Amino acid sequence: MFHKLARFILKRRFILVSILLVFTLFMGWKASKVRLSYKPIPLVPKTDSIYIQNERLAKLFGKGENIMVIGVTDSAFFSSDRVLLWENLSNKIKQVDGVENVFSVIDIITLEKDTITRKFVAKKLLDNLNTISPDSLSKQVKNLPFYKGLLYNAETNTYLMLITLNREKMTRVDRIKIINQVKEASQEYEARTGNALHYSGLPYIRAVVAEMIKYEMFLFVGLAALVTAIILLVLFRSFRVLFISLVVVGTAVVWSLGSLTLFGYDLTLLTAVVPPLLIVIGVPNCIYLINKYHHEIAHHRHKIKALYRVIYRIGSATFLTNLTTALGFVTFVFTKTQILREFGLIAFLNVLGIFLISLVVIPFFFSISPTPKARHLSHLNRNTFKQAVSRIVLTTYYKRKWVFAITVFVLIIGIFGASLLKANGYMVDDVPHNHPVQRDLKFFENHFTGVMPLEIVYNTGKPNGYQNYSVYQKVERLQEKLIDYPELSKPFSIAEMAKFARQAYYNGNESQYRLPGPFERAFIMSYIPRSIGVSDVYARMTDSTGQYVRIMYNVADIGSEKMSILFDSINNDIKQVFEDEHTNVHIAGASVITTYGIKYLVQSLSSSLILAVILIALAIAWLFRKFRMVLFAIGINLIPLILTAATMGFLGINLKPSTVIVFSIALGIAVDNSIHFLTKYRQELYLTKFNIKESIFHAIRETGISMIYTSIVLLFGFSVFIASRFGGTKALGLLVAITLLYAVITNLFVLPSFLRQFDKPKPLKPEEEELVMEMSSGFDDEE
């Protein structure tokens, strides 16, 4: 097949490059339209019962994901100038296009009973801030326990401003403009008071993270290109090689961004990794093809003949290695999580795409370039690399027992380290701990137990069921049980509203803030209106029919492991309080979706690793037609994965979405070295009449340098991700680099040792012989 392909590419190279150029221009146009993801992408599949339940409840109440929070700590908050500046800040923020409502202590509503109409009348507590003394202001606010823990923390003198943002605008690029305008409006307050303001809430966090994604994608494309360019110059000492390689990977980057728009995908934290990833993966393609071209030129100085052999011999092997790498990504397509499916499909298609690009572009440029001079070929005879390969051969021949002993010892340590692994993720896990988003989140956790929404929704069974006094009692009993959980904030519910009403009925006496008793509930409850109408804060306690009521909490970002335990404990409390009705009570909110999403993702990605092993094994089986070769290739490359898991265990790096994907990706890339080595080994077996010792010698000598070259590129290429501000991206780069380092060592030392000790080859059948020779005849590129 590759005979015909080589002739086709060389004869029609100008036409193919023209088609490639036109398509790249089209993909470049599409790439210019790529959009950042501003919508929350659930990790839980949309078919999952938890997701369906959460969406159903969100339709009843609306999603509590459009609240931005501003906080300040100020012991002199109620002094006349400070409180007026706070009011001025509130008014400025209200004028921002996209802000629907602002609510803070200066907007507090109190209730006054009207004995004639038997209704509570809602009034703003602080109508005229200029006429009230600071002590009186403070006393009036702190006399209302209903707002304590919701808008202020009296112990730490910390105060909140809740900003309701337009949901539709917060899913578009307008989000950044709105957030920036809110922060700009806050600058005068900070300057005049000397108080630092803290910002948080899901819309704020998502906006900041989206901008970080955009910045880092360009950063890592640049870094990956720079690092690989330096390595290529050091290895080949040729600007021509550098230029051709950059054209190949640059085209692939354009295709990857264009394909996002083509499929209707947005740029997410994962898909933003694909462009720099293609640079790192694409350069080894260039190295193998260019190395072979230089070897052929060194032998006979005939360009077209050399390029024909490059495509025919190396192209076939490169296709298989690109296929196994792509298979490491395609397994993500079979998960039920949208963000992973998008990442897997885009990476899979573009890894195969870069193979096509390199197979057309490299022969074209070399066909129109002058024949390489002797100085361009000097890298073929570097003594440093040849001496390294000689040491590997000697170790394989004479120190196999040491290799086996060290391997067993390392594996024992690896299995122990892997047993220390924990599956645990955080809602803002990838944001660095010293970033303002993290610092501000900790501020709100310290003063108000966090900003992540957690809701408990109770279906009373009938319209206006919230009016049944037993509902208030059950809600209150549950709240009393949950008060012992330090991870939960003060609740916001109809029970708290009833306590607020009781206090108002007794003329604002703070000691009367409790649920109405059996003898007073009838007349007190009759005073409570369906909606106070001043702020939508109160209307969020029940749905429009009054059948569903909810208890609203904020929860600290304690990690998915502890959060799962917390949810189990809350569910047990629900069963005790609601007894037979506990099936009508559900936990919901963004914190629930994120926690179960992380748990689901780790489980599904573990399955994807198994699928990757199976698919790669099938690809190797198709090439070698020998089960023993499959065991060698897969078994040897499972060792680096175990060692990586051990590294994570010893360093305390948790299993989470950003780290679990490492294993499938690294396996797909690491097995390439095994394929190169085993293919050349099988070819040498045929040529040496099944002399194992001699075949291993030639295989190491002839593939070792390319394995070292490509491993250097991959190692340093993935290492650029360590510069990321996202913990997940940093972990991805570090762990893949570590895995590939382990892989090149095992493929150079352990794999040849195993073959020397255990392989008992049989003569090939004619069809197997032809396949092996076709797929591997180009691996003699180190001679």
pLDDT tens column, 354-393: 999 999 999 999 999 888 877 777 766 667 666 777 788 7
- 407 plus 315 within the same structural domain: no
Band (255; pLDDT cuts 50, 70, 90): very high
Mean pLDDT across the stretch 719-745?
A: 82
The answer as to whether 664 is a domain residue is: yes
pLDDT(94) > 80: yes
Percent of the chain with pLDDT over 70: 89
Euclidean distance between the first and final Cα of the chain, in Å?
25
The identity of residue 197, as a single letter, is L
pLDDT(737) > 70: yes
The answer as to whether 75 is a domain residue is: no
- 686 plus 723 within the same structural domain: yes
How crowded is residue 520: how many other Cβ atoms within 10 Å of its Cβ? 12
What pLDDT shows up at residue 405?
92
- Structural domain ending residue among the three candidates 381, 409, 434: 381
- For the record, the structure tokens of 724 come out as 């990321």
Q: Say if CB 733 and CB 721 are below 8 A apart.
A: yes
Band (158; pLDDT cuts 50, 70, 90): very high
Q: Say if CB 353 and CB 258 are below 8 A apart.
A: no
- 701 plus 755 within the same structural domain: yes
- 244 plus 374 within the same structural domain: yes
Smallest Cα–Cα separation from 6: which of 296, 256, 279, 247? 296
pLDDT(521) > 80: no
- The answer to which of 371-380, 465-474, 605-614, 743-752 has the lowest mean pLDDT is 371-380
Smallest Cα–Cα separation from 102: which of 60, 143, 126, 70? 70
Distance CA 699, CA 696 (A): 5
- 254 plus 369 within the same structural domain: yes
- 362 plus 263 within the same structural domain: yes
pLDDT(780) > 60: no
pLDDT(761) > 70: no
- For the record, the structure tokens of 347 come out as 């990476």
Q: Which residue has the higher pLDDT, 247 or 397?
A: 247
Cβ neighbors of 692 (< 8 A, separation 6 or more) are 685, 755, 756, 759, 761
What pLDDT shows up at residue 775?
46
The answer as to whether 209 is a domain residue is: no
Q: Which helix (H) or strand (E) holds 3?
A: helix 2-11
What pLDDT shows up at residue 575?
93
Beta strand 67-73 with 198-200: parallel, antiparallel or unpaired? antiparallel
pLDDT(131) > 70: no
| Predicted structure pTM score | 0.74
- 742 plus 761 within the same structural domain: yes
Domain CATH number, residue 690: 1.20.1640.10
- Structural domain ending residue among the three candidates 381, 403, 433: 381
Distance CA 361, CA 741 (A): 30
Band (537; pLDDT cuts 50, 70, 90): very low
pLDDT(71) > 90: yes
- The answer to which of 533-537, 602-606, 626-630, 677-681 has the lowest mean pLDDT is 533-537
Q: Which residue has the higher pLDDT, 53 or 458?
A: 458
- 270 plus 390 within the same structural domain: no
- 305 plus 401 within the same structural domain: no
Three-class DSSP labels, 439-482:
HHHHHHHHHHCCCEEEEEEEECCCCCHHHCHHHHHHHHHHHHHH
Band (335; pLDDT cuts 50, 70, 90): confident
Q: Which residue has the higher pLDDT, 775 or 675?
A: 675
Letter string b/e over residues 417-430, b meaning 16 or more CB atoms within 10 A of that residue's CB: bbeebebbbbbbbb
pLDDT(426) > 50: yes
The answer as to whether 22 is a domain residue is: yes
Tell me which residue has tokens 């290739």. Answer: 633
Query: Please, what is the average pLDDT of the chain?
Result: 82
Q: What angle do CA 318, 703, 622 make, to 5 degrees?
A: 45
The answer as to whether 27 is a domain residue is: yes
Distance CA 224, CA 202 (A): 32
Q: Say if CB 654 and CB 422 are below 8 A apart.
A: yes
The answer as to whether 302 is a domain residue is: yes
Count of domains forming the chain: 2
The answer as to whether 103 is a domain residue is: no
- 690 plus 774 within the same structural domain: yes
Q: Which residue has the higher pLDDT, 126 or 193?
A: 193
- 699 plus 723 within the same structural domain: yes
| Structural domain range at position 755 | 383-419+625-783
Task: Map residue 677 onto helix, strand or coil.
Answer: helix
Band (201; pLDDT cuts 50, 70, 90): confident
- 359 plus 389 within the same structural domain: no
- Structural domain ending residue among the three candidates 330, 364, 381: 381
The answer as to whether 637 is a domain residue is: yes
Mean pLDDT across the stretch 683-695?
A: 79
pLDDT(43) > 80: no
Beta-bridge partners for 161: 70, 104
Task: Give alpha helix (H) positions in 62-103.
Answer: 80-94
What pLDDT shows up at residue 782?
38
Sheet order of strands, 452-459 included: 548-555, 452-459, 585-588
pLDDT(112) > 70: yes
